Structures are given as structure tokens and as C-alpha cells.
Amino acid sequence: LNRRLAEFGTTIFAEMSALAVRTGSINLGQGFPDTDGPEEIREAAVRALRDGRGNQYPPGPGVPELRTAVAAHQQRRFGLTYDPDTEVLVTAGATEAIAAALLGLLEPGDEVIALEPYYDSYAACIAMAGGTRVPVTLRPHFEESASFRLDLDELRDAVTDRTRLLLINTPHNPTGTVLTREELTAVAELAVERDLLVVTDEVYEHLVFDDAEHLPLATFPGMRERTVTIGSAGKSFSFTGWKVGWVTSTPELVSAVRAAKQFLTYVASGPFQYAVAEALALPDTYFAAFRADMLAKRDVLAAGLAEAGFEVFRTAGTYFITTDIRPLGESDGFAFCRALPERAGVVAIPNAVFYDHREAGAPFVRFAFCKQTEVLQEAAGRLKAAF
């Protein structure tokens, strides 16, 4: 293994899902739904397969139907206009979008500011692109309801002459933080003032709860021309195995991402692209029901975790809950998660894996709630019995 990748072993998701299978535990680690997305969209995929649409290499940028649907979805929801031919790129999931964006946009030595804790592929892709990651740590706050917040002064202080790109994620995995209008305004102003590119991972755009609102960074003044926005059918339609994602940006930035993407997978997921095009056109009632269902699941798991003695951070978006294990008399999330299957028959993820400053993430543990309610209740019962 080369030096760029030496620090990255097996992803925590593979390790923890294998542990769940080995121990017969309830897997609240890796974030994937245990209920597949809409039947009619599965039918659309079957139709595409049968009709011979997408069984051979689709066009490099993605099938026109899907690019048009992505643009229409951005227009309908956020009033953002993208040209399906030049400003939309279909990728093999958001994972490839992130990789291709960083590989296509970074020069070796460029600094990338990412919000820590960050989704694990960010660090690896920055490394593969020869960039240097500069983490800005989201800090836990315990007043009113516990949550993680961005310190805007820390963000500003992290920018240097070598900073090329801000890598933002909202709604944020693993903390469940949704950046507010004020925070995003400050991020946008900083990007414009320092002439930075922004790659924004908005795969949980449809999963925001209570009074939180998802505001795409590209809608802020001066941002559309410097922002690469990433979405995922895995997250929005519960088809994580289909690996369909997309990028929207300017023609220049999309070309740069495509230049890298064409040598990663070239293309992927042919028939599924047609089905996702139909999914993006689903009525608002689908998205509202999806959100309401996840909100109810959040509340079941949050209540269960609180009863078991965890400090529970409020999830404003995503399908993850971050907890603090210190009220249980524990302080090392790694040790806690390795022992949890034996102790309680549940698998979770230690947030420390998403940190460069491991000690800052040590007492935090993430649970996914994109599972059937009975599964969440069973997990909560096991945790209550164990602690």
C-alpha cells in the first residue's frame, strides 16, 4: 500500500457490519435502510432492464432522462437552474462524486478545509488527490438540547494562502447537524472573499426535521459559480446498492469533475439511472412521507438511547444519532463499540474514526435509525438491559 493510503485501513463500515453479522447483533452501525425504496421505482428499474435501456454503457455524463430529472428537481425544490447537458453529471454514488471532484479540482499540496468529524471517504480522497486536509472541528454544545456547532472564527482562521477548497456537508454525517442560514451565509462570504471552491455534500437534503431547513450552499450570493453540489439516490430513495449519485455545478467545474470520473468508473448503474429519473419526479408527498417516517424512527431511537443512559445529541438532519457515552461511565468510543456486540447485541460506530483530532471524538458514538421501528425498539431494549 502506498504512503498516501497507508493510514487508511478497512473502512469502519465494513469492519462494523462484519462484526454485526459475526455476532448476530442488530446493526445500527453502517447507514443503510432495512426497507428498500418505493415499489414503483423498483418496477421502473425492472422495466428499464427488460426494455434494454442502460444494459450497455450509458453516456459518460449520465442518461439524458436522469440529467434532466436532476436539474428539474433542483429547480422545483430550490429554484436553482442547471443545464442538464453541461451542468449535471451522474456518478457512481456520492462516493464517486466526492472522489472525482477532489481528483479533478485539487493540485498537489492544496489545502482542503473539512468539517470534523467528517465522512470517512473525504480524508482518503483528499489524500489520493495529493491534497492536505485541514479539519475544523464541530464543537459539542450542551445547553437546551445537545448539538454540534461550527465555530465560524475557527473556520476563518483555518484559511491560508494554500486553501483551495471548502468541503462542506449539511445535513451532517455523523453529528446530525444542519447548518443554519447564518452559518451558511458566513461560509459563503468566506468562500467569496478568499476565492475558494466549495464542494458540498448534500446527500441528506431530504432528511431534515423539526424546524431545521436544508439550504443548498449554491443558493447563496456568489456561490453558484464556485460550488459543486453532490446528491445521492441511495440516501433520498433508499437504494444504497444502486450507486447512483450526481453533481451539479458550472460547465467548467462539471467538466473538471467529469475528467476524473471518466477514468474511475467511466459509467455505472445503467438501468438504475432511468429508475432514479422517475424517482426524482415523485410528488412532494413521497418526500414528506419519507421525512415523517424517519422522524418517527429518530424519536424512537433517541428516547431509547436516553433511557439507557446515553447523552443524546439532537439530530436535526440525516438518519444518524450521535451520543456521548460519558454518562455511562465510559470514555473510549472505540473500546465501547468493540465491546457493544458482546455486551448488548448492538453494533454502533465510534465517531473518533471521523476525526483527525481523535481525542476530540473519543466519547462519541453514532447509531443509525434508518431501520424498522421494531428493530429500533429491540435495540433500545437491549441497550437498556445492558446499562
CB of 355 to ligand PMP, least distance (A): 15
Which contiguous run of DSSP H or E holds residue 368? Answer: strand 364-368
Among 26, 27, 28, 30, binds ligand GLN (CB under 6 A): 30
Beta partners for residue 347, in sequence order:
27
With CB under 6 A as the contact rule, the residue among 68, 147, 232, 315 that binds ligand PMP is: 232
The residue nearest ligand PMP at its CB is 93
| Residues whose CB is less than 8 angstroms from the CB of residue 208 and which lie 6 or more positions away in sequence, other chains included | 171, 178, 214, 291, 316, 317
The yes or no reply on residue 201 touching ligand PMP (CB under 6 A) is yes
Which own/partner pairs from 121-125 qualify as long-range (CB within 8 Å, at least 24 positions apart)?
121/11, 121/95, 122/98, 122/167, 123/8, 123/356, 124/5, 124/8, 125/98, 125/99
Does 231 participate in binding ligand GLN (rule CB under 6 A)?
Answer: no
Q: How many residues bind ligand PMP (CB under 6 A)?
A: 13
CB of residue 125 to ligand GLN, shortest distance in Å: 12
Total of residues contacting ligand GLN (CB under 6 A): 5
| Burial of 103: CB neighbours in 10 Å, binned 0-12, 13-18, 19+ | buried
% helix, strand, coil for the chain, step of 5: 45, 15, 40
Closer of 11 and 377 to ligand GLN (Cβ): 11
Rounded least distance, CB 30 to ligand GLN, Å: 5
- The order of strands in the sheet holding 349-350 is 311-312, 320-324, 364-368, 349-350
Distance CA 54, CA 64 (A): 12
What grid cell was written down for 56?
A: 450497455
Nearer to ligand PMP, 119 or 369 (CB): 119
Which does residue 271 touch among ligand PMP, ligand GLN, none (CB within 5 to 8 A, set by kind)?
A: none
Q: Does 245 bind ligand PMP (CB under 6 A)?
A: yes
Residue 201 interface partner, choices ligand GLN, ligand PMP, none, CB cut-off 5-8 Å depending on type: ligand PMP
Q: Does 31 help bind ligand PMP (rule: CB under 6 A)?
A: yes
Q: Is 93 in the site for ligand PMP (CB under 6 A)?
A: yes
In angstroms, the first-to-last Cα distance of the chain is 41
**Residues near 180 by beta carbon (within 8 Å), at least 6 away in sequence:** none
Does the footprint of ligand GLN cover residue 173 (CB under 6 A)? yes
- Which range touches ligand PMP (CB under 6 A), out of 4-12, 186-194, 232-240, 263-271? 232-240
Least distance (Å) from ligand GLN to the CB of residue 179? 18
Contact 247, 74 (CB under 8 A): no
Does 95 bind ligand PMP (CB under 6 A)? Our answer is yes
Task: Find the residue with minimal CB distance to ligand GLN.
Answer: 31
Rounded Cα distance, 151 and 183, in Å: 9
Residues 325 to 364: which contact ligand PMP by CB under 6 A? none
Binders of ligand PMP among 109-148, rule CB under 6 A?
Answer: 119
The answer to whether 8 contacts ligand GLN (rule: CB under 6 A) is no
Does position 58 bind ligand PMP by CB under 6 A?
Answer: no
Cα separation, 83 vs 106, in Å, equals: 24
Whichever of 33 and 62 has its CB closer to ligand GLN, that residue is: 33
3-class state of residue 361 by DSSP: helix
Give CA–CA dist 98/344, Å, rounded: 35
Contact stretch for ligand PMP (CB under 6 A) within 54-62, 73-81, 90-98, 160-168: 90-98
Euclidean distance between CA atoms 134 and 61, whole angstroms:
31
Q: Which of 163, 169, 269, 315 binds ligand PMP (CB under 6 A)?
A: 169
Q: Residue 322's closest CA among 92, 41, 31?
A: 31
Contact status: 273 vs ligand PMP (CB under 6 A): no
> Is the CB of 11 or the CB of 262 nearer to ligand GLN?
11
Instruction: State the residues that interact with ligand GLN by CB under 6 A.
Output: 11, 13, 30-31, 173
Instruction: State the residues that interact with ligand PMP by CB under 6 A.
Output: 31, 93-95, 119, 169, 173, 201, 203, 232, 234, 240, 245
